[in-house]
Structure 1
Amino acid sequence: MRIVRHEARAAADRALHAALHRIVLAWWPILQQAVAAALAWWVARHVFEHDDPLFAPMAAIVALNTPRGERGTNAIRVVAGVVTGVLVGQAASTLLGRNYVGVAAAIFFALLITAAAGNARTTMAQAAVSAVIAVAMGGDAGLTRALDAVFGGAVALLFSQLLFPADPLRLLRRSESELLADLARALDLTSHSLRHDDRSSAFTLWQRLRPLYAAAAELSKACDMMVASAQRSPRRRNQRAPLQSELLSVAHLSLLGNSCLTLSRESQSVPPEHRREFAPAINEAAALLQMLASDPADPALRQLTVFSALDVVGQVPEEGPGRLKAAWESLRWVVHDLAIFAGAKPETAREALG
């Protein structure tokens, strides 16, 4: 009973810690959304004299309620969707009347047009909702919504591109750090499954590995997003050159992710009598990944990672069964890719391959 209470208390502590961590990350973007929404409402109400400017703050909230680096694009999507939906809704109500046929036609063509233009789901949803409002509430309501969306979108662009633009390099390095930490945890779990020869640990390992494929893909997507963000924001254009340099490191990080996943798979085929002797080397690789995750941009930390990584493959045995050799070869590639990501010259990294 005491063990159950201890585990419950530990789980509650972890949940509280996770919630506090999410609050630390989210409070500043949320504050921006609240202030932007209030400003959009004030502009629509007092500058343009809209009696009930509900859609202006809503547009600002929807536009800014997306990861940093995408907020400017999302603002354009919201405005484009609203304007498209209003125009289609106006046409549908004029031709078919304000009835269920007009509503259905307006939704269909609003979604069809935005889909044909290759727009995102946000644009399509805004177009469909605006089309319904334009048909159901008449022309004035639709036009008011379109104007309010423009006001809200303009305020969102002001916040996202001029006042509080995303820092592409910082966000990219945070993504690097998160992926490195995830890879370190996966290798730790791999080592644990080898030391204890535990099927449940192996199952947990596979469960942990599956999201890493998606995480690596998300990092590639984040690269494209950060480049676009640096190009659009006047305050971040000076980061374009260092950002291009960092993108080369990200390419090597993607290769490192693949190498770690291959190592985790290969390690499960190591003969049972050799698993315990192979596990410490994986532990050391995991520790290096975790160390670098603390600050991927630190030159001193990168240099230390290179030297320490090459020491890991110095433990490779000269003899052993084929499966063990294959696992060691996978570890060699992890060390090679880690050294390249950390800034080693290609000829230095090739030392890891023997």
Structure 2
Amino acid sequence: MDGVREEVRRRLRRLARTALPILQCAIAAGLAWVVAKDLVGHARPFFAPIAGVVVLGVSLGQRLRRVGELVVGVSVGIGVGDLLISLIGSGPWQIALVVALAMSTAVLLDSGTVIALQSGSSAVLVATLLPPGDSAGFNRMVDALIGGLIGLGVAALIPANPITVAHRQGRAVFGELAQALRGAATAAEERDPGRAAAALSRARGSQKALEDFRSALETGSEIATIAPLRWRRRNELEHYRAAAAPVDYAMRNTRVLLRRTVAALRDEERVPEHLPEVLRALAEATTVLRDELAKGEEPVRARRAALAAGRAATGELASGAGFSMRVVVAQLRSIVVDLLQATGMNREDASAALPAVGGKRPER
């Protein structure tokens, strides 16, 4: 019974997260129908509400491009369909041929998936419903434009909060990075290659979180561009955008660190005494960075924490260690540089802030 209640709560939370996009789609569909039917005078403008919903979608992102793709896709489909049906008539094989040629034309135009799909569906519309040469073909293109523009207008006037999704996905990414660093620290402390391997396996699965984070930032940037009500959130979003690439690098370097940790522990190399402590300090800096970004603050405390961890990653830390453990220390220093860049420092300043090891600075 508890499991059922938890599942219901999970689904209700998911509905709550998508409530605003659903509301936007509903309003856009209704407005598109009214404008196309009552103001423009189209008798059955079913393509207008469809276009409004497609442009908005329950999943956000790339709406400006979708408007163009919709109109181009509809135009290609109707143009190819109208030309062929007027020559070869209508029937099962004619429909198949028209759809194939319309979608092939869209692909040859080097178009996206939306254009190809809209070309195919519009060709079907011409082949089955619209008389060849009828002006309704042009009306469908106008309907697509009306629906697309109204979808954009609804997104601008009833915008989602561009920071909300960035917060949620950012927490997941920074949480995965901190968890991986803590896993490396515990494995090194306990001399346990199995624990290091488990941490590596989990870190390898973090790529989806990184992709979702980048997608959330793309969506947030679009909202902050087209929605006047959200312009003031652009600075907050910029902090996240500045952190995105360095955090991606930090996760990649952490995976390398974990692979070498597994190798070092299996080969029973000596573990530097303070290595677990430095790894945990770096994980804490990651958590502080997550919290400061979530609050919209300049990540000053995270920068200080990362610098403190980096200053402990000196040549003495790797002194007398085996090959794999020296690589671990080198990767640790690279992760420090990545996190410093995520706080807003440039790469040169971040590298210069660390103590030199053998006269060399960290390299990517």
Identify whether the pair has TM-score above 0.5, normalized to the shorter chain. yes
Aligned match for 1:73, one of 65, 78, 81: 65
Aligned residue among 49, 53, 57 for 2:49:
57
Shift in alpha-carbon separation, 1:204–1:18, aligned structure 2, 3 A: farther
Q: How far has the Cα of 1:285 moved from its partner? A: 2.0
Contact conserved, 1:57 with 1:152, CA < 8 A, in 2? yes
- The answer to whether residue 331 in structure 2 is matched with residue 330 in structure 1 is yes
For residues 303 and 263 of structure 2, what CA distance do their matches in structure 1 show? Answer: 28
Equivalent residue runs for 1:253-332 within 5 Å = 253-271=247-265, 278-296=275-293, 302-313=299-310, 314=312, 316=317, 318-332=319-333
Given that 2:80 and 2:102 are in contact with CA atoms closer than 8 Å, whether structure 1 keeps it comes out as yes
* 1:166-224 per-position Cα deviation (integer Å, ceiling 9, x unaligned): 7767766765554323322333444455548364x556544433343455466667767
Contact between 1:133 and 1:142, CA under 8 Å: does it hold in 2?
Answer: no
What is the aligned partner in structure 2 of residue 85 from structure 1?
77
1:137 corresponds to 2:129: yes
SS for the counterpart of 1:306 is helix
Q: Which residue of 2 aligns with 1:4?
A: none
Q: Does 1:119 align with 2:114?
A: no
- Aligned residue for 1:34? 26
3-state SS of paired residue (2:127): helix
Is the contact made by 2:217 and 2:241 (CA closer than 8 Å) also made in structure 1? yes
Give yes or no for contact 2:107–2:116 (8 Å, CA) kept in 1: yes
Residue 14 of structure 1, CA deviation: 6.9
Contact 1:44 1:151 in 2 (8 A): yes
User: Aligned residue for 2:343?
Assistant: 342
Task: Report the secondary structure of 1:343's partner residue.
Answer: coil
Gaps of 5+ in 1: 1-7
| Shift in Å, 1:334 | 0.9
Superposition map of 1:153-164 within 5 A: 153-160=148-155, 162-164=156-158
Describe the SS at the equivalent of 2:111: coil
**1:229–1:298 distance in 2 versus 1, CA, 3 Å:** closer
Q: Is the 8 A contact 1:263 1:334 kept in 2?
A: no
Q: Structure 2: which 5+ runs fail to align?
A: 357-364
Is 2:354 aligned against 1:352?
yes
Q: Distance in 1 between matches of 2:104 and 2:228?
A: 34
For residue 333 of structure 2, what is the amino acid of its counterpart?
R
Give the 3 Å change call, closer, same or farther, for CA 245–324 of structure 1 in structure 2.
Answer: closer
The aligned amino acid for 1:308 is A
Of 103, 106, 114 in structure 1, the residue corresponding to residue 98 of structure 2 is 106
Structure 2 Cα separation of the partners of residues 275 and 100 of structure 1:
72
Q: Amino acid of the residue matched to residue 158 of structure 1?
A: G
Residues 25 and 52 in structure 2, CA contact (< 8 A), matched pair in contact too: yes
Residues 2-41 of structure 1 correspond to what in structure 2 (within 5 A)? 18-41=10-33
Q: 1:181 aligns with which of 169, 175, 178?
A: 175
Once the 2 structures are TM-superposed, how far is the Cα of residue 340 of structure 1 from its aligned partner?
2.4
Q: Taking structure 1 as reference, are residues 79 and 295 closer, same or farther at Cα in structure 2, changes over 3 Å only?
A: farther
Partner of 1:5: none
> For the Cα contact (< 8 Å) 1:177–1:295, is it kept in 2?
no
Report how many aligned residue pairs link the two structures.
Answer: 344
Q: Distance in 2 between matches of 1:110 and 1:43?
A: 29
Distance 1:20 1:331 in 2: 41
Q: 1:172 to 1:48 in 2, by over 3 A?
A: same
The residue number in structure 1 matching 2:361 is none
Distance 1:72 1:320 in 2: 55
Structure 2 CA distance for aligned equivalents of residues 131 and 221 of structure 1: 32
Distance 2:298 2:280 in 1: 18
Determine the C-alpha separation between the residues in 1 that align with 2:169 and 2:162.
Answer: 11
How far apart, in 2, do the equivalents of 1:181 and 1:119 lie? 37
**TM-score, with structure 1 as normaliser:** 0.78
Change (3 A) 1:300 1:114: closer
Sequence identity percentage = 24
Moved more, 88-97 or 298-307: 298-307
Question: Could you tell me which residue of structure 1 aligns to residue 86 of structure 2?
Answer: 94
- Per mean C-alpha deviation after superposition, the further-off stretch among 162-171 and 235-244 is 235-244
Aligned to 2:143, what secondary structure does the other structure show? helix
**Equivalent in the alignment of 1:212:** 206
Root-mean-square deviation (CA, aligned residues, Å) is 3.8
User: Partners of 1:271 and 1:334 in 2: how far apart?
Assistant: 20
SS in 1 for 2:324: helix
Q: Is the 8 A contact 2:217 2:240 kept in 1?
A: no
Q: Is the 8 A contact 1:259 1:333 kept in 2?
A: yes
Aligned residue number for residue 362 of structure 2: none
Q: Which residue of 2 aligns with 1:3?
A: none
In 1: Cα distance, 2:239 partner to 2:288 partner: 22
Distance 1:288 1:18, change over 3 A: farther
Using the alignment, how far apart are the partners of 1:220 and 1:95 within structure 2? 48
Q: So what's the TM-score if we normalise by structure 2?
A: 0.76
> Taking structure 1 as reference, are residues 285 and 134 closer, same or farther at Cα in structure 2, changes over 3 Å only?
same
